[in-house]
Amino acid sequence: MATTLITGGTVVSATGRGAADVLVDGERIVALLEPGSTVLGANLAETVDTVIDASGKYVIPGGIDAHTHMSMPFGGTTAADDFETGTRAAAWGGTTMIIDFAVQKFGERVPESLQTWHDMAAGQCAVDYSFHQIIGEVNKESLAELRRLPDEGITSYKLFMAYPGVFYSDDAQILRAMQTGADTGLLTMMHAENGPAIDVLVEQLLAQGKTDPYYHGVARAWQLEEEATHRAIMLADLTGAPLYVVHVSAKQAVAQLAAARDRGRNVFGETCPQYLYLSLEDNLGAPGFEGAKWVCSTPLRSREEEHQNQVWQALRTNDLQMVSTDHCPFCMKGQKDMGIGDFSKIPNGIGSVEHRMDLMYQGVVDGRITLERWVEITSTTPARMFGLYGRKGVLAPGADADIVVYDPNGHTSIGLGKTHHMNMDHSAWEGYEIDGHVDVVLSRGKVVVADGEYRGRKGDGKFVRRDQCQYLI
Ligand code: URP
Ligand code: ZN
Ligand code: ZN
């Protein structure tokens, strides 16, 4: 087994930071040591196969992006990144594990849909991966199949209160699924937007000739996110189902989550970089059809209404617990452009899997979150939330050697061409300048990114079985 010593860096965890060397044997971390440690009189650095100099840099657990959609069929097309391109881009950006969504479409069986996702991912991934299960049709069969997910190493499933006729579940279906989820120890993930009400607004806006991407944000009003979030919380309350609300963007939805948590409920919330940096006015409202780049759901919110600042604050105060990307990229040409003249036909999704660690590090630079909180919301909490902690999300003996050496004095320019590796013809983050840089990435002990080169291979990443959410008592 190859041994590696990462030396001279500052190891940062969710709870603190300090100078330490990290010793890796094969795929695992075996020790965190005093800098410059000796073993039986010998300098450790002289005994290992590889030494990585992390002087002046941070050494952190690899990022875990718990919300991605590689190759997802959606809006009449398929997400542009597959498991190969998407996980390679993740590795470039310091994310060493993704949790993607297996999609049970209407009329399909759950085990078959899960198998389809296994088939798409196996042998293709650059980093480790797991799945949540989307239940697109709640019925007797799928409820029975839900009960068998833990045997497959899958401990979370997702429902949609949005997208009628596609993934939508009504309240009766949600109630039944939550009862089953609670009974089975599954975490219920929820896309919380009132889909039927959104559809009425979409129809009315289009009838008024309001067809530009901007109106995607108008139709998906914050009231409809707040209402659905509240409803999901109440149904979870009734059934005892632990609830995780995905891609929270409206400050009013945050307030609903905070209130439920204050009542002691097992309610959690995720946000995404786009809701922290981008806005209805600046992005969805860009001239012409440009705003289509930023069409995603929930939508970007109004900067004037201060949603972004409130979401940052919620991350700091733990009213929101973590940051995923909801990576679901579509190209402008041939995909987003299906919605020219009708915003409702623009496939929903933004690609960010490569940039999450950098974009969130900018929050440290800007004084919005601490260094430790950065590690917590991008790695440690995702690991605990989705039953991976101990193996992932921490640098400790016995943990997988998923490690990032991050240079706070480095710089990352985000834009098109060589500056990103996602399979997209544009970047939603074009022009963003980050005061930091992902220098070296190890995935289960193997250096996959170093010296500005990708050194991994497809198939390096393996499926990881997950335990139950580790926040539940
Ligand atoms: O716009 C989005 N979020 N696309 C992906 C599907 C979803 O709702 O998560
Ligand atoms: Zn969603
Ligand atoms: Zn999503």
Given a cut of 90, whether residue 417 has pLDDT beyond it is: no
What is the pLDDT at residue 415? Answer: 80
Cα of 44 vs centre of ligand 2, distance in Å, is 48
In a domain, 120, yes or no: yes
pLDDT, average across residues 314-333: 98
CA-proximal residue: ligand 1, atom 9 (nearest): 326
Which percentage of the chain shows pLDDT scores above 70?
A: 99
In a domain, 260, yes or no: yes
Cβ–Cβ < 8 Å for 16, 375: no
What is the pLDDT at residue 314? Answer: 98
Q: Band the pLDDT of 433: cuts 50, 70, 90.
A: very high
What is the pLDDT at residue 39? Answer: 83
The domain that holds 210 is classified in CATH as 3.20.20.140
In a domain, 133, yes or no: yes
In what helix (H) or strand (E) does residue 25 lie, and over which residues does it extend? strand 21-25
Cα of 160 vs centre of ligand 2, distance in Å, is 7
What is the pLDDT at residue 41? Answer: 87
Q: Which atom of ligand 1 is nearest to the CA of 348?
A: 1
CA-proximal residue: ligand 1, atom 7 (nearest): 297
pLDDT, average across residues 313-321: 98
Give how many domains the chain has, as a whole number: 1
What one-character-per-residue DSSP string does 167-178 give?
A: TB--HHHHHHHH
Pocket of ligand 1 (CB under 6 A): 69, 191, 247, 296-297, 326, 328, 348-349
Whole-number average pLDDT of the chain: 97
Given a cut of 70, whether residue 70 has pLDDT beyond it is: yes
Given a cut of 80, whether residue 416 has pLDDT beyond it is: no
In a domain, 455, yes or no: no
Q: Band the pLDDT of 31: cuts 50, 70, 90.
A: very high
In a domain, 468, yes or no: no
In a domain, 140, yes or no: yes
In a domain, 393, yes or no: no
Q: Which of 295, 348, 350 to mutate to test the pocket of ligand 1 (most atoms within 8 A of CB)?
A: 348
Q: Band the pLDDT of 432: cuts 50, 70, 90.
A: very high
Cα of 302 vs centre of ligand 2, distance in Å, is 19
CA-proximal residue: ligand 1, atom 8 (nearest): 297
Counting DSSP H helices and E strands in the chain, the numbers are: 14, 25
Q: Which of 328, 336, 352 to mutate to test the pocket of ligand 1 (most atoms within 8 A of CB)?
A: 328
CA distance 267 to 273: 21
User: CA-CA-CA-CA torsion for 111, 113, 114, 116, nearest 10 degrees?
Assistant: 120
Proximal ligand: closest to the CA of 326? 3
Q: Band the pLDDT of 36: cuts 50, 70, 90.
A: confident
CA distance 193 to 130: 25
Cα of 467 vs centre of ligand 2, distance in Å, is 23
CA angle 365, 371, 372 (to 5 degrees): 160
**Would you state the structure tokens that stand for residue 34, as one six-digit string?**
């005093």
| Closest C-alpha among 354, 378, 452 to residue 90 | 354
Cα of 59 vs centre of ligand 2, distance in Å, is 32
pLDDT 10s digits, 267-293: 999 999 999 999 999 999 999 999 999
Proximal ligand: closest to the CA of 428? 1
In a domain, 454, yes or no: no
Cα of 377 vs centre of ligand 1, distance in Å, is 20
Given a cut of 80, whether residue 419 has pLDDT beyond it is: no
Give the C-alpha distances (Å, rounded to integers) separating 404 from 6, 44, 151. Answer: 10, 21, 31
Protein residues within 5 Å, CB atom, of ion ligand 2: 191
Coil, helix or strand for 188?
strand
pLDDT, average across residues 328-356: 98
pLDDT 10s digits, 99-147: 999 999 999 999 999 999 999 999 999 999 999 999 999 999 999 999 9
What is the pLDDT at residue 418? Answer: 58
**Would you state the structure tokens that stand for residue 107, as one six-digit string?**
């009329």
Q: Which atom of ligand 1 is nearest to the CA of 101?
A: 9
Q: Which of 225, 284, 296 to mutate to test the pocket of ligand 1 (most atoms within 8 A of CB)?
A: 296
Given a cut of 80, whether residue 1 has pLDDT beyond it is: no
Residue range(s) defining the domain that contains residue 288? 63-386
| Closest C-alpha among 78, 75, 134 to residue 104 | 134
Full-model pTM: 0.98
